[in-house]
Structure 1
Amino acid sequence: MKIKVGVAMLVVTIFAILIDGYSCKVVQFIFGDSLSDVGNNKYLGKSLAQASLPWYGIDFGNGLPNGRFSNGRTVADIIGDKMGLPRPPAYLDPSLTEDMILENGVNYASGGGGILNETGALFIQRLSLYKQIELFEGTQTLIRSKIGKVAADKFFQGARYVVALGSNDFINNYLMPVYSDSWNYNDQSFIDYLMETLKAQLQLLHTLGARQLMVFGLGPMGCIPLQRVLSTSGDCVDRANNLALSFNKAGSKLMDNLNAKLPNSSYRFGDAYDVVNNIIINPSKYGFSNSDSPCCSFGKIRPALTCVPASVLCKDRSKYLFWDEYHPSDSANQFIANELIKKFGFTRVDQGDAPSSAPAIAPSPDQN
């Protein structure tokens, strides 16, 4: 009888150690759009928002397309690396397992997605923030079934969360007359609509365990190459930039209110508008030579919208702020990430020195 009791106690002790090991690993859960997508849209067969063609990914790992809408890393990649966090794999990656989730977290970001469900409808398939949160709920069910509710709750409450959407709600919704939101709202009422929706979404994430969360603000989206080339002057579009500033101001206020309201929450707003705007105004000061046109372009045909194999690349990708008509280059993302790290005083979590098993950025800026 004593032997049976001893064996039972040993089994319980081992099980507790295993659960504690799972719950102590700090991982990231990322919700976002194409600025954070690491491959989800690759598995949305009908989606028109794709980064599956060369030259996307040319400066990352083996240089092949990997689902990131850039030549290299995302801002979330770089911040996570600096903090010693693993890079979370795409949720829709068919190789994703419960063990991978426990080791690395998950990235739900989807190119074309927005805070609003209606945003990005022209892309046919994309994951809105509500859909991404729904998928996160499914992830929680999987993890609870594997390690139990108590350990799962500890695991999810100890994780880091990133929410980075909003630009599509303007560029691929409100600012396009084909969407009903463009005539149902004015600038202020649309910002209010976005904030009401985002508030409900962040409160939902809190009920699901999100305690340490950062919402990324918008950059000067009126200065992306697409907006410039569609304007009559080639200059930045002031209205779009003013909307980004209004979004950031409202978003920062929302984070303050939620921090005061939600128990045990540490919700931050990452505003990099001035960081990017400073590069646009004076690129050479920050080591860039071009801040108004894409590195990857289809000759004189603009806007080409996406980078394609027939596109021509700039001679030095590290000197361009923008990779394509929409998205920053790896060098720009690194600069933005470093500024946010300094601004918020991010420190490494206690997980060793290696950022992750994901491939590092390829060193050569030369076109193959």
Structure 2
Amino acid sequence: MEFRGHILIVLIVTVLVALPVPAAASLVTFVFGDSLTEVGNNNYLQLSLAKANYPFYGIDFTGGKATGRFTNGRTIGDIISAKLGIPSPPAYLSLSPTDDAILKGVNYASGGAGILNETGLYFIERLTFDDQINNFKKTKETIKNKIGAEAANKLCNEAFYFIGLGSNDYVNNFLQPFLADGQQYTHDEFVELLISTLGDQLIRLHQLGARKMVFHGLGPLGCIPSQRVKSKRGICLKQVNQWVKEFNSKVQNLVTNLNGHLPSAQMTFADTYQDVMDLIDNPTAFGFKVSNTSCCNVDTSVGGLCMPNSKVCSNRADYVFWDAFHPSDAANEVLAERFYNSLFANKAPSPAPLPSH
């Protein structure tokens, strides 16, 4: 599952454009992505096979129960939200159509999602990036009804948009021998399809009011546990990593181009690749002991999620990976700190002034 993918996409980010942060009270964030950033949308999709609602998931989250997050605890988004002094945006499908919570931000991410609509098709139900954008459009209409068109446009223009997609397009599409895209396209053709599709999607978000967009590049997918098992020696898959580098380079060029053509666009490409590779290659430097296999001992060519009958490691904080695709809560904490510092260093929201008496 995906999840093979996205691994540490939001991880250890080097941001090319520094974005100013408004006061925490006014900070609104909208999250688009896959299982790395999902907070429970797929739990509301009855037929979806891409769910993390099993015991062990959430074991280190508040309450100790599964919430739909594909890790043993918090996502990187949860941790960054806490650092910004705001609640982690709730899952879109958990909200009622008129819920006031949408005024503070929404999480549209869905495990198995990709840039292409056919990606993750065998999960039956998931919210593709196009689906997520459609849901954001509905959200904006609701916001308009609540506070008026002018205020809604201002809110959307000033909000932050965190976007992390693309790994499923490889792991659950192009790299699967039984799916059409891997047979139909060369990699050069496939990556051009991804970039042209993504360009149209980012333009559509801009038309809906998004200005401050952060797109998270892909980490070294060839080094995550679910891909290593395809190697006889359990090593990283060099070809997969080379394709990821090509994708990242083209997305970076796309972002630069869109910033030059779209009015008031402040898009940022967050380059994750080398820093994530450093974490995998040198886990002890970050306080970990194991980075080539998962805590949940589910590194197989089929499956890879932490099921109720899985054998969980005794010290979860020693492992970079929770299951065959996703980082552990401990890894997310390290990575969120680096991501936060890359984006918001010296730009953190100032505390609200005390009331005068």
Is the 1:84–1:350 Cα contact (8 Å) retained in structure 2? no
Partner residue, 2:315: 316
1:246 paired with 2:246, answer yes
Report the 3-state secondary structure (helix = DSSP H, G, I; strand = E; otherwise coil) of the residue aligned with 1:57: coil
**Displacement after TM superposition at 1:350 (Å):** 5.0
- What amino acid is the match of 1:45? Q
Q: TM-score, normalised by structure 2?
A: 0.87
User: Which is bigger in relative contact order (C-alpha 8 A, separation at least 6)?
Assistant: 2
Q: TM-score, normalised by structure 1?
A: 0.85
Larger Rg: 1
Cα separation, 2, equivalents of 1:309 and 1:278: 32
Cα separation, 1, equivalents of 2:49 and 2:176: 17
Is the 1:259–1:266 Cα contact (8 Å) retained in structure 2? yes
Report the 3-state secondary structure (helix = DSSP H, G, I; strand = E; otherwise coil) of the residue aligned with 2:132: helix
**Displacement after TM superposition at 1:233 (Å):** 2.2
Report the 3-state secondary structure (helix = DSSP H, G, I; strand = E; otherwise coil) of the residue aligned with 2:260: helix
**Displacement after TM superposition at 1:239 (Å):** 1.4
Query: How many aligned residue pairs are there?
Result: 328
Partner residue, 1:68: 69
Partner residue, 1:166: 166
> 1:342 and 1:350, CA in 2 relative to 1: closer, same or farther beyond 3 A?
closer
**Displacement after TM superposition at 1:232 (Å):** 2.3
CA RMSD, 1 decimal: 1.8
Q: Any residues of structure 2 matched to 1:237-316 within 5 Å, and which?
A: 237-297=237-297, 303-316=302-315
**Displacement after TM superposition at 1:287 (Å):** 0.9
Cα separation, 1, equivalents of 2:351 and 2:161: 17
1:181 paired with 2:181, answer yes
Partner residue, 1:98: 99
Cα separation, 1, equivalents of 2:194 and 2:157: 26
Q: Any residues of structure 2 matched to 1:77-96 within 5 Å, and which?
A: 77-95=78-96
Is the 1:30–1:161 Cα contact (8 Å) retained in structure 2? yes
**Displacement after TM superposition at 1:330 (Å):** 1.4
- What amino acid is the match of 2:234? G
Is the 1:306–1:325 Cα contact (8 Å) retained in structure 2? yes
Is the 2:97–2:142 Cα contact (8 Å) retained in structure 1? no
Cα separation, 2, equivalents of 1:110 and 1:236: 26
**Displacement after TM superposition at 1:286 (Å):** 1.6
Cα separation, 2, equivalents of 1:122 and 1:83: 37
Task: Structure 2 unaligned segments of length 5 or more: list them.
Answer: 1-24
Cα separation, 1, equivalents of 2:251 and 2:179: 23
Q: Deviations over 1:243-267 (max 9, x none)?
A: 1111111111111111111111211
Q: Deviations over 1:265-303 (max 9, x none)?
A: 2111112211221121121122110001111125x9765
Cα separation, 1, equivalents of 2:323 and 2:61: 16
Is the 2:226–2:300 Cα contact (8 Å) retained in structure 1? no
1:152 paired with 2:152, answer yes
Q: Structure 1 runs of 4+ off > 6 angstroms?
A: none
Q: Deviations over 1:71-92 (max 9, x none)?
A: 1121222223223333110001
Task: Structure 1 unaligned segments of length 5 or more: list them.
Answer: 1-23, 354-368
More moved, 127-136 vs 90-99: 90-99
